[in-house]
């Protein structure tokens, strides 16, 4: 497994990789090539932060890896498959070395070029196209198989020039994300709880959720809970002070999330850039109805069951209207719980794991 950061990052790609690694190690000998602290099954390379985005990357705990060639050659020489998770310098060099050694490569498309542009403050379609061209020419088209978490993700890569074989494989939902009895804290007992989980970053649009709640006719009775960490945490907190009930900001371990998915009334995902979104899947797995932005650069809208489960991306007025609709229709909202739980079952991680094992065994025959 080739991934720049692995230890402390709350990045969705890292979380997904860790989940699959735990399962895969029952069958395969997995080595993680990454930065961070020493540990069993890890090969370490130095970390660095690019000039200009050092501050924001440190806040997100996502360093890049310096591709030490002698370390990579030694680790890759002993592998039957190289699986790329992040498309950066470490990946570029790992693919080059693996190809020279005739070792098959699998790549997973976790990160959109738009993620880089937005977090770096770059507003350029030319930058996005160049980034995709680089990734596709140097990594994805040199892979025996490209794993895409959604049909949207696969179509994006095809649009930008992918010609290598690809497969849609969800990040999947862990079994612990399921409906269960959960008692609310006294403070939130009679409030309508809105939940959103994810990195506090510009493309996630948590600010939009706060603005929309401020426009709601029921704002005095709404409690927003934001779970995550990231560079705009303080900004969001300051904006949230405008609400009658200040948002609750939490940083939790994944096993602690289950409680909040089960006490919430509605999950909102406002991100405009997304290849799938594990938190929405987790919410669905717990039977929590979701309200999703219809962004053309996000796959997450695929999970919406009804038109009222979508809102116009980057439009706080439309989001506010949809929030009010669900508050005013509690019986309909209750029906949505079972519908979303049933819909989530096709995305169980066991299904994705079995499919991934099949891909590994098939691709290993390419060596």
Of the candidates 173, 153, 158, 145, which has an alpha carbon nearest to the alpha carbon of residue 275? 153
- Can you give the pLDDT of all 367 residues of the chain as single tens digits? 999 999 877 788 999 999 999 999 999 999 999 999 999 999 999 999 887 777 777 877 789 999 999 999 999 999 999 999 999 999 999 999 999 999 999 999 999 999 989 888 888 999 999 999 999 999 999 999 999 999 999 999 999 999 999 999 999 999 999 999 999 988 788 999 999 999 999 999 999 999 999 999 999 999 999 999 988 999 999 999 999 999 999 999 889 999 999 999 999 999 999 999 999 999 999 999 999 999 999 999 999 999 999 999 999 999 999 999 999 999 999 999 999 999 999 999 999 999 999 999 999 975 4
Burial of 330 (0-12, 13-18, 19+ CB in 10 A): exposed
Give yes or no: residues 125 and 190 share one domain. Answer: no
183 — phi, psi (to 5°)? Answer: -95, 130
Rounded to whole angstroms, the Cα distance separating 103 from 143 reads 10
Whether 3 is covered by a domain: the verdict is no
Give yes or no: residues 97 and 234 share one domain. Answer: no
Angle made by CA atoms 265, 267, 270, in degrees to the nearest 5: 150
Q: Are strands 64-65 and 47-48 parallel, antiparallel or unpaired?
A: antiparallel
Rounded to whole angstroms, the Cα distance separating 298 from 294 reads 7
Predicted confidence at residue 180, as pLDDT, reads 95
Q: Any idea what DSSP says for residue 7?
A: S
Domain count, the chain: 2
At what angle are helices 125-138 and 113-120 packed, to 10 degrees? 140
Give yes or no: residues 116 and 227 share one domain. Answer: no
Give yes or no: residues 150 and 218 share one domain. Answer: no
Predicted confidence at residue 99, as pLDDT, reads 97
Predicted confidence at residue 174, as pLDDT, reads 97
Predicted confidence at residue 365, as pLDDT, reads 79
Predicted confidence at residue 366, as pLDDT, reads 53
Give yes or no: residues 113 and 213 share one domain. Answer: no
Whether 28 is covered by a domain: the verdict is yes
Whether 2 is covered by a domain: the verdict is no
Whether 7 is covered by a domain: the verdict is no
- Tell me the three state secondary structure of residue 192: strand
Quick one: tokens of 65? 């890896």
Quick one: tokens of 287? 């039977």
Whether 6 is covered by a domain: the verdict is no
Whether 181 is covered by a domain: the verdict is no
Domain that holds residue 30: 12-172+348-364
Quick one: tokens of 328? 């005013």
Rounded to whole angstroms, the Cα distance separating 156 from 114 reads 12
Give yes or no: residues 197 and 227 share one domain. Answer: yes
Contact 231, 59 (CB under 8 A): yes
Give yes or no: residues 101 and 208 share one domain. Answer: no
Give yes or no: residues 205 and 122 share one domain. Answer: no
> Which residues 6+ apart lie within 8 Å of 317 measured at CB?
212, 215
Rounded to whole angstroms, the Cα distance separating 293 from 208 reads 10
Angstrom distances, CA of residue 310 to CA of 114, 120, 219, 333: 22, 28, 20, 14
Give yes or no: residues 222 and 142 share one domain. Answer: no
Give yes or no: residues 115 and 216 share one domain. Answer: no
Rounded to whole angstroms, the Cα distance separating 88 from 3 reads 9
3-state helix, strand, coil in the chain (%, to 5): 45, 15, 40
83 — phi, psi (to 5°)? Answer: -115, 115
Whether 178 is covered by a domain: the verdict is no
CB atoms within 10 A of CB 240: 21
CATH of the domain at 108: 3.40.50.2000
Of the candidates 33, 60, 38, which has an alpha carbon nearest to the alpha carbon of residue 49? 60
The torsion defined by the Cα of 252, 253, 254 and 255, in degrees rounded to 10, comes to -110
Whether 179 is covered by a domain: the verdict is no
Give yes or no: residues 225 and 318 share one domain. Answer: yes
Give yes or no: residues 326 and 221 share one domain. Answer: yes
Q: End-to-end CA distance of the chain: give it in Å, rounded.
A: 17
- Tell me the three state secondary structure of residue 199: coil
């Amino acid at each position: 497994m080739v991934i720049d950061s692995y230890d402390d990052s709350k990045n969705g790609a890292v979380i997904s990789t860790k989940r699959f690694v735990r399962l895969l190690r029952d069958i395969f000998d997995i080595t993680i090539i990454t930065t961070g602290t020493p540990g069993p099954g890890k090969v370490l390379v130095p970390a660095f932060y690019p000039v200009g985005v050092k501050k924001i990357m440190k806040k997100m705990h996502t360093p890049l890896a310096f591709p030490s060639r002698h370390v990579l050659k030694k680790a890759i020489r002993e592998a039957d498959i190289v699986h790329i998770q992040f498309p950066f310098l470490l990946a570029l060099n790992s693919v080059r070395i693996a190809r020279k050694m005739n070792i098959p490569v699998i790549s997973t498309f976790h990160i959109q070029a738009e993620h880089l542009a937005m977090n770096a403050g770059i507003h350029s379609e030319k930058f996005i196209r160049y980034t995709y061209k680089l990734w596709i020419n140097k990594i994805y088209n040199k892979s025996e198989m490209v794993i895409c978490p959604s049909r949207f993700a696969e179509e994006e890569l095809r649009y930008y020039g992918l010609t290598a074989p690809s497969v849609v494989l969800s990040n999947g939902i862990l079994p612990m994300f399921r409906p269960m009895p959960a008692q609310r804290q006294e403070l939130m007992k009679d409030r309508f709880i809105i939940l959103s989980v994810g990195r506090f970053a510009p493309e996630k649009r948590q600010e939009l959720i706060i603005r929309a709640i401020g426009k709601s006719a029921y704002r005095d009775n709404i409690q927003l809970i934001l779970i995550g960490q990231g560079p705009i945490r303080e900004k969001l907190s300051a904006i949230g002070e405008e609400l009658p009930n200040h948002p609750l900001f939490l940083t939790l371990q994944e096993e602690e999330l289950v409680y909040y998915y089960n006490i919430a009334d509605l999950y909102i995902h406002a991100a405009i850039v997304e290849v799938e979104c594990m938190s929405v899947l987790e919410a669905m797995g717990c039977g929590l109805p979701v309200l999703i932005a219809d962004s053309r650069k996000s796959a997450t809208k695929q999970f919406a069951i009804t038109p009222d489960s979508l809102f116009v991306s980057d439009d706080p007025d439309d989001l506010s209207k949809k929030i009010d609709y669900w508050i005013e229709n509690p019986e309909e909202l209750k029906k949505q719980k079972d519908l979303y739980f049933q819909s989530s079952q096709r995305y169980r991680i066991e299904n994705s794991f079995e499919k991934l094992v099949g891909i590994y065994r098939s691709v290993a025959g390419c060596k």
